[in-house]
């Protein structure tokens, strides 16, 4: 059963979560959390909910985009003139406004802000 969860449910969640999880409504997010909770009970292993999975994958993907100069999304991550935060692109439509790139940049800026407060 654990193999089924990893092969089927986690693969769908991992591939899709980074792209569309920022646009999920609460009802849809709760439905996905219900599926994850159900599969956790079946396998007997605890699994990450969709929000925790989204932030984990967002961080991993963002780090890889920022490191790889040849990646097409690398140019989206531009520092402000202060050099302390990244510029969040302005989008007009709802899917783009809450898409991957703005969510990733907002996440990075929050992490940088927390890091600066610790210093």
How many residues comprise the chain? 119
Tell me the C-alpha distance between 57 and 34, whole Å: 20
pLDDT in tens, 12-26: 776 666 666 666 677
pLDDT in tens, 19-61: 666 666 777 778 878 877 887 787 777 777 777 777 887 888 8
* pLDDT at res. 100: 79
- Which residues, 6 or more positions from 94, have their beta carbon under 8 angstroms from its beta carbon? 23
Record the pTM: 0.65
* Three-state SS sequence of 42-65: HHCCCCCCHHHHHHHHHHHHHHHH
Beta strand residue intervals within the chain, DSSP E: none
């Amino acid at each position: 059963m654990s193999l089924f969860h990893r092969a089927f449910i986690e693969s769908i969640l991992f591939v899709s979560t980074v792209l569309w999880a920022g646009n999920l409504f609460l009802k849809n997010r709760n439905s996905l959390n219900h599926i994850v909770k159900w599969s956790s009970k079946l396998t007997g292993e605890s699994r990450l909910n969709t929000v925790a999975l989204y932030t984990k994958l967002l961080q991993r993907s963002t780090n890889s985009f920022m490191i790889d100069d040849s990646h097409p999304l690398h140019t989206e991550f531009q520092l402000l003139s202060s050099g302390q935060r990244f510029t969040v692109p302005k989008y007009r439509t709802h899917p783009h406004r809450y898409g991957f790139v703005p969510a990733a940049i907002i996440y990075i800026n929050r992490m940088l802000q927390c890091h600066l407060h610790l210093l």
